Amino acid sequence: MTLKIGDKKLDFYNEVAVQLNYDSVASVFSFAFYFDPENADHRAMFKPGRYAPVTVEHEGELLITGILLSTGFESAGDPPRSWVRVSGYSKTGVLEDCEIPTSAYPLQSNGLSLEQIAGKITKDFGLKVVVDSSVQSKALQKYSVSTASDSQSCKSYLAELAGQKHVMLSHTAQGELLLTEANINAAPVADFSRGMQDVRMSLDFDGQRMHSEIEMIKQQTKGRKDGTHKQGNSGQSSVTNPYVPVYRPKVNRQTSREVVDTANAARNILSDELKGLTVKIDMVGWTLGGKLAKPNTIITAMNPEVFLFKKTRLFVASVDFRGNEQSETATLTCFVPEVFGSAQPKNIFE
């Protein structure tokens, strides 16, 4: 990894950790660096509260454009040695930490699209909104009325709006907010199986977060003065979870004044529940097939010891890189591809 604070490259660092995330507005990083208090460059780079710009690269490829958030100094030994432990995230991470600024008020938007609302909210943060061509038409569709809560974070509100259009809220390596969709039909970049050298695999199933049927009910609007109702603003949809054969229903009532597609809303809840099935792969090294491991890719895995009795396609949602002077390791966090799609999922254990 190559780390830069501003235009200064760090040559001597240790305990680097980088997490690249797909289903998130930010990726994160941390590392330790030998701090020389007599060095003016060091004092400028690591000054607490500076929020210094940081870039993380690997073999010339930009991975993160972000800011340094936290610094922790320590001094020990004789002669004394000073270390600073730092961490930060992509520039877009601020959207998760801050509520909608008053400069973007009013909180109610009439006749604006997802792209327009995102641009209005991110403007004063100095962030750019990028729309992937795959979701261009969805991002331009206008909401008749959309209202945020004054206690919502920017990310929470935008994710809520994006979910209604089945658009993914992510970020780019350049620190831009990205509206996109997952590439769940891509060819696998790697195949994992039982007994592979330097590979550890685990599967966790959280049945408590899952339900057999998810029902979304849209509250009907009040009648007009002539006694009629506005069409299309009421409805009821349900989806089933193939991993739950017992009766565990979930009912959600949508009370927003926005005309919400109840089928899409129910499917989004199912996607979130399917994250209760997680496959993690720990491996030595940072590459797959000669390239740096990345999220938004597909792998296949087959390992009876973790109840994968047949080759199974999995979506890599995040990759954790860790490295020091002795080793480089990575962890892939994977979900079934249907988490990021709209098709009815199939039980991979059947």
pLDDT at 222: 52
What's the mean pLDDT in 323-332? 92
30 and 141 fall within a common domain: no
pLDDT in tens, 281-316: 999 999 998 899 999 999 999 999 999 999 999 999
Determine contact, residues 35/82, Cβ cutoff 8 Å: yes
Would you say residue 350 lies in a domain?
no
Q: How many domains does the chain have?
A: 4
Better pLDDT: 220 or 259? 220
Which parts of 184-267 are beta strand (E)? 190-193, 199-205, 213-218, 235-240, 249-254
Determine contact, residues 127/104, Cβ cutoff 8 Å: no
How far is C-alpha 136 from the geometric centre of its chain's CA atoms?
A: 20
9 and 88 fall within a common domain: yes
Would you say residue 185 lies in a domain?
no
What's the mean pLDDT in 223-237? 52
Band of residue 79 on the pLDDT scale cut at 50, 70, 90: low
Find the CATH number of the domain harbouring 269: 3.30.1920
Contacts of residue 279, defined as CB under 8 A and 6 or more positions apart, other chains included, come to: 201, 202, 203, 301, 306, 308, 314, 333, 334, 335
pLDDT at 325: 81
Would you say residue 10 lies in a domain?
yes
Find the CATH number of the domain harbouring 158: 3.55.50.10
314 and 334 fall within a common domain: yes
85 and 127 fall within a common domain: no
262 and 334 fall within a common domain: no
Rounded CA-CA distance 252/270 in Å is 12
Contacts of residue 251, defined as CB under 8 A and 6 or more positions apart, other chains included, come to: 215, 217
85 and 40 fall within a common domain: yes
Quote the domain boundaries for residue 251. Answer: 208-274
Structure tokens at 299: 């792998």
44 and 70 fall within a common domain: yes
Structure tokens at 136: 């261009």
Determine contact, residues 251/218, Cβ cutoff 8 Å: no
Better pLDDT: 228 or 98? 98
Domain endpoint, select from 76, 94, 112 = 94
The tokens 């891509």 sit on which residue? 186
117 and 46 fall within a common domain: no
165 and 239 fall within a common domain: no
pLDDT in tens, 45-71: 999 999 999 999 999 999 999 999 999
Rounded CA-CA distance 188/196 in Å is 17
Structure tokens at 156: 């929470």
71 and 115 fall within a common domain: no
